[in-house]
Structure 1
């Protein structure tokens, strides 16, 4: 297993974001190419089981990450937690018995919250969305601990459907909460990197949407490997399989997955790179 440390600026929260390092035996006879890819990524990066994040904070973190980079969303998350997160000293001054992020954000002033998270982009939309969700969670579940219990203990499909009913929560956001807070095996969230990589590899159809890619991966990758498969794929997408200049353009030795990849939409001979969907004849 690689000694590489998972970056802290990652939707998973990095090494301090919950879960635990877990060594898996690489399956040399993996039954699917997707399983072989994820095993290779586990050798290249890290292997972890996830879970343990506070569910509501994880939901907020993922909303902040929408349509922006981790480099931008992480400082916004940190600023939000500094102003609204659990602070026993503040709680004591205000006469509360226990600080609660759901309560704090449900009662937050929208303009102040927007200013706090302004570095994440779309801050006016995201601040309104976070307050609306906090109000709904307070009404339907109560405090932060009650929502945690729902995410961790109830049926995964019921949790996912409930999360998808929240304004501004899409499949990737719901799946991240299930994975990083709920610790659910078999959940492989699909962001832009995962969507690009597994269509470019030829594992998912070139014109597959995010939900189709998710279904393919969750069927083909062993359940206990889906979590680190997601986070390691994102890192691989940043370092090697970028949207415009994938490493394979520099030759087979430049990419650790070259032998497993169909390079759909990539022509190393002339350096042309298009979205895999553009290779489908209309």
Structure 2
């Protein structure tokens, strides 16, 4: 595992559309001792870190982080960020307990508040139910935040997954952005696509299988920025329908590290890696 140099605040703001971090998402820039990557996956993450940012994460309020991630489910950050901002303006009182406030919230009113995020009836009901459990089982948002930051990571993950409406990606985002846990590499649709397309994870791997492969091959301290940088790479280069390499093999900064599984520049066809014929 690489040693770290002193951590300093980053001057490079993450893109505002990346709800996983964002300008208000916290995080400290960190540099790693230069060394040859032990795996192709680590080489990919190193290159992404050089292109975008190298940061350690943690410090977000756990319940707010949970709310943000639920809002971002099945929608774009462009849609979910305004919903988050309006929700916080309406329900987050100074020195108040957001979980306690949402536990007592009127569901139709909350749904109207977060309408721009889509699936607002489902998401509002999920947030109220989780808020009620956090108040009942932990005592409130502050106590829940302490549990996420200090509890055994597997115990915390299991507890998060026990909340209705919380899947592995949401649980891992809370562990990373709130708990600051090293070795956590949340897998969203971008990460799932990229690491199978690269040929690092099996083409038919599900989200949890991709997570297991990547976390096994990337040093723990690089997983956080590997996740956020992979998302940005997926938006800019390795898109679902028209990856950069489709028209120009040299247009992608990962060209020499990628197997292009499911991408066929000679025909212009792009399929999910799981649908690519075996070679």
Quickly name the TM-score band, shorter chain normalised.
over 0.9
Q: 1:15 corresponds to which residue? A: 23
TM-score by length of 2: 0.94
- In 2, Cα distance between the equivalents of 1:34 and 1:16? 29
1:40 counterpart = 2:69: no
Partner of 1:184, secondary structure, is coil
1:5 CA drift (Å): 3.0
- In 2, Cα distance between the equivalents of 1:74 and 1:26? 36
Q: 1:94 corresponds to which residue? A: none
1:268 counterpart = 2:265: yes
Q: 2:215 corresponds to which residue? A: 218
Closer, same or farther: CA 265–49 of 1 in aligned 2, 3 Å: same
1:179 counterpart = 2:191: no
Q: 2:4 corresponds to which residue? A: none
| Contact 2:53/2:229 (<8 A) preserved | yes
- In 1, Cα distance between the equivalents of 2:145 and 2:13? 27
| Contact 1:103/1:138 (<8 A) preserved | yes
1:246 counterpart = 2:237: no
1:6 counterpart = 2:14: yes
1:247 CA drift (Å): 0.1
5+ unaligned residues in a row in structure 1: which ranges?
88-97
Q: 1:208 corresponds to which residue? A: 205
Across the aligned residues of Structure 1 and Structure 2, the Cα RMSD in angstroms comes to 1.3
Per-residue CA deviations over 1:137-173 (Å, capped at 9, x if unaligned) read: 1000012110000000000000000000000000000
Q: 1:60 corresponds to which residue? A: 67
- In 1, Cα distance between the equivalents of 2:180 and 2:93? 22
Q: 2:37 corresponds to which residue? A: 30
1:193 counterpart = 2:190: yes
Q: 1:114 corresponds to which residue? A: 111
- In 2, Cα distance between the equivalents of 1:179 and 1:84? 25
TM-score by length of 1: 0.93
Partner of 1:99, secondary structure, is coil
1:12 CA drift (Å): 2.4
Per-residue CA deviations over 1:204-243 (Å, capped at 9, x if unaligned) read: 0000000000000100001000000000000000000000
Per-residue CA deviations over 1:76-130 (Å, capped at 9, x if unaligned) read: 000100000133xxxxxxxxxx411011100000000000000000000000000
1:236 to 227, 230, 233: 233
- Greater helix proportion: 1
